[in-house]
Amino acid sequence: MTPSPTARRGPRRLIALLGATAAGLAMVACSSGGGAEDPADAGSESDSGGGTSGSAGDVGGTLTVFAAASLQEAFDVLLAAFGEQHPDVEVAPAVYDGSATLATQLEEGAGADVLATANEDTMERITTAGLEASTPEPFATNTLVIAVPTGNPEGIADLPDLNDTTFVICAPAVPCGDATVELFGLTGFAGAPVSQEQNVTAVAERVVNGDVGAGLVYGTDVAARSGELEAVVPTGADDVVNNYPIVELEGAQPAAAPFVEFVLSDEGQAVLSEHGFGAP
């Protein structure tokens, strides 16, 4: 029996359909670069962002930073800028406190990705405990000053003048307190503070609030409150300089190393300089 015209068209339509489908799949593969991309080309594209501090979105996850209280103003700016450059990173509010307090929290199991302290001795506690994932890098310096209210109403010019007013210092266990003890020892000053605070921010706030007539803080703390405080540079201050190190912590999220690099970069150093910190 001779096939009908309809029956003969069936196989032809099937062949045509299969041909069109194959051609369509080939076009899709070409347009997506599927399978034919040179691995070297792929590598060069992913590297175009310039390493760990490269293009936005090259890292993700979260970022939690522990930082000395004196770094708050500068690090708030640095973290905001880092978050803008890496929108896939969830930047948690930084934890600011005395360096010794932060070290104790980490030793007791607190979770963080990056630690920045106000001196090297406190950072040594972290490395001794094996809590670091990289070598600590110095990134800034700071110097003690006497903070007085704007206008310096009591006319304080140097450390001996503190005997004529009430003043506060940081506790010796924290970097600003350790530096204060060293400064007093170098100059032979033996005045008695009315209290010892757990971080430098608390000292500055007591002067701002009028609780005391003066306080020993870092120059950056006065700069951050330029409308409320003035700085008096005491004799011997240049011989007591705090070096600030930063480190990626053990078990840190992927964003930790890029953030450390950002702090050490020209952009990060410019932010720190604008807030009164010296170069490392």
pTM of structure: 0.76
Number of H helices, E strands in the chain: 10, 11
Cα–Cα separations (whole angstroms), residue 237 to 18, 50, 79, 143: 85, 41, 30, 6
* 250 touches 133 (CB < 8 A): yes
* 189 touches 165 (CB < 8 A): no
User: Quick one: pLDDT at residue 58?
Assistant: 77
Instruction: List, in order of start, the domains of the chain with CATH numbers.
Output: 58-140+243-274 (3.40.190.10), 142-241 (3.40.190.10)
* 234 touches 145 (CB < 8 A): yes
Q: Helix or strand or coil: residue 247?
A: strand
How far apart CA 115 and CA 225 sit, in angstroms, is 25
Q: Pick out the chain residues at pLDDT < 50.
A: 1-57
Cα–Cα separations (whole angstroms), residue 118 to 20, 74, 77, 139, 142: 69, 13, 18, 10, 8
Phi, psi of 138 (to 5 degrees): -70, 135
Residues in the chain: 280
**Residue 15: Cβ-neighbour burial (10 angstroms; 0-12, 13-18, 19+):** exposed
User: Quick one: pLDDT at residue 216?
Assistant: 98
User: Which of 93, 106, 69, 65 has the alpha carbon at shortest distance from 199?
Assistant: 69
User: Quick one: pLDDT at residue 2?
Assistant: 40
